[in-house]
Amino acid sequence: MQPLDEKTLRASFVNTSRKELSDLTLPDDFDTLDFSRLDYLGWRDRRIARRAYAVVPAGPDAAAGDGPGSSGSGSVPGSAGVPGLIGIMLKQAEASPRTRAQCSLCQDVQLPNDVVLFSARRAGPAGRNGNTIASLVCSRFECSTNVRKLPATAYVGFDVEAARTDRIASLRSRVAAFARAVLDPAAPPTP
Ligand SMILES: [Zn+2]
């Protein structure tokens, strides 16, 4: 994804109150992040238990300012949003999945890290009425790392590089779909 500065990152959020946004703590390594190896930026708030964030490139026509569910301004009064970028505040569910679960974004079959249930309040009036959307996601948002691992060769002639490219593309489209669903109050929950 394209590198972000703090101002752009904060302006991208679509489902936070002004207070929640002011409480947001940036990732520890924000200044040294290699955005070229990230399909989305996800992190946990180190000061607020269970709170996490994801900033997602979601296509040129996606923006907090003109998304279908955002009523023109997202949840942040006065925010114009950032075209093509959707920032989402997430809350980790109290209960953990009972068995080791697969992340619905990277769908890594080797389950290299914990996966937890995160929910996101929808943008705009829907979210203020308690409408949320939930998804199983790598607990520390390891998805971009997971899809860049070379898959085990499945058979002679199997194109591992092509498989990796496919996994990266799939992750990007799934995370964009999740972010767009936060903007759209009518969208069904993503897997
Ligand atoms: Zn994942």
| pLDDT, position 87 | 97
Select the more confidently predicted residue: 42 or 61: 42
Compute the distance from residue 107 Cα to the ligand 1 centre, in Å.
Answer: 6
> Does position 76 have pLDDT exceeding 70, yes or no?
no
Select the more confidently predicted residue: 156 or 5: 5
Contact 6, 24 (CB under 8 A): no
Query: With pLDDT > 70 as the criterion, what percentage of the chain qualifies?
Result: 87
> Does position 47 have pLDDT exceeding 80, yes or no?
yes
Compute the distance from residue 115 Cα to the ligand 1 centre, in Å.
Answer: 7
Q: Which residues are in the CB-under-5-Å shell of ion ligand 1?
A: 103, 105-106, 138, 143
Asked whether the CA dihedral 120, 122, 123, 126 is positive or negative, the reply is negative
Select the more confidently predicted residue: 144 or 81: 144
| pLDDT, position 150 | 85
Compute the distance from residue 114 Cα to the ligand 1 centre, in Å.
Answer: 9
Which span out of 44-53, 69-78, 108-117, 148-157 was modeled with the highest average pLDDT?
A: 44-53
Select the more confidently predicted residue: 2 or 71: 2
Q: pTM for the full model?
A: 0.87
Q: What is the pLDDT of residues 132-177, one digit of tens each?
A: 999 999 999 999 999 999 877 778 788 889 999 999 999 999 999 9
Which span out of 80-84, 169-173, 187-191 was modeled with the highest average pLDDT?
A: 169-173
pLDDT band per the 50, 70, 90 thresholds, residue 6:
very high
> Does position 66 have pLDDT exceeding 70, yes or no?
no
> Does position 123 have pLDDT exceeding 50, yes or no?
yes
Compute the distance from residue 110 Cα to the ligand 1 centre, in Å.
Answer: 11
pLDDT, averaged across the chain? 87
Compute the distance from residue 35 Cα to the ligand 1 centre, in Å.
Answer: 17
